[in-house]
A and B are shown apart, each in its own frame.
Chain A
Amino acid sequence: KAGVTQTPRYLIKTRGQQVTLSCSPISGHRSVSWYQQTPGQGLQFLFEYFSETQRNKGNFPGRFSGRQFSNSRSEMNVSTLELGDSALYLCASSLEPYEQYFGPGTRLTVT
């Protein structure tokens, strides 16, 4: 069974731009969670989607948004990028609420 895939793997953007990251969960998994990982703040929860509905949300500004499609694929969008948004963005899918499988991440660099 294929694992969680994230595209693109690397991305360079300029301040003020917006970016969309994509995550394809493991087949059959309906829950997708997003995390931001930085050296300073560690792993921080962004949001979780289940059956196209946002079920949980972390403490991030409204510039960070997401959505989930009927096939469980998910996208997250960051608008008006700031230098501090440079991070590894990880997506995780799960069948059970306590069994998360992570993708390899998208490394976003904002210049």
Chain B
Amino acid sequence: AQSVTQLDSQVPVFEEAPVELRCNYSSSVSVYLFWYVQYPNQGLQLLLKYLSGSTLVKGINGFEAEFNKSQTSFHLRKPSVHISDTAEYFCAVMGYGQNFVFGPGTRLSVLP
């Protein structure tokens, strides 16, 4: 069985400041890792994914994440946020042949 923990339910940050959204997972098998973003009244949009290879993954909208196998973490970062980044962010894991498991989400609020 897999599980995902997102340690912060809400993260307020000022515009143009850096941000890190934390994600930890547990799994007995190798996993694929994902970050999704959800804007109000919309579905989920894939930001980035880690399947294999380089542990530093770059995604859309200037986001990046680093896979750390020893710490079972996949934290999401952005060096400078914009008002338009205000949304809910979900970390997800998927073991081979298994379904997606999503974390509870982190609400990012970018303040002017």
* Chain A residues with a Cβ under 8 A of chain B: 4, 33, 35, 42-43, 45, 48, 56, 58, 90, 92, 97-105
Flag if A90 contacts B104 (CB, 8 Å): no
- Residues in B with CB closer than 8 Å to A102 are 36, 43-45
- Residues in A with CB closer than 8 Å to B99 are 33, 45, 48, 56, 58
Provide the main secondary structure of the chain A interface: strand
**What distance in Å separates the Cβ of B2 from its nearest Cβ neighbour in chain A?**
11
* Chain B residues with a Cβ under 8 A of chain A: 32, 34, 36, 41-46, 49, 51, 90, 94, 97-105
- Residues in A with CB closer than 8 Å to B46 are 99-101
Flag if A99 contacts B49 (CB, 8 Å): yes
Docked pose: A5 CA to B41 CA in angstroms: 14
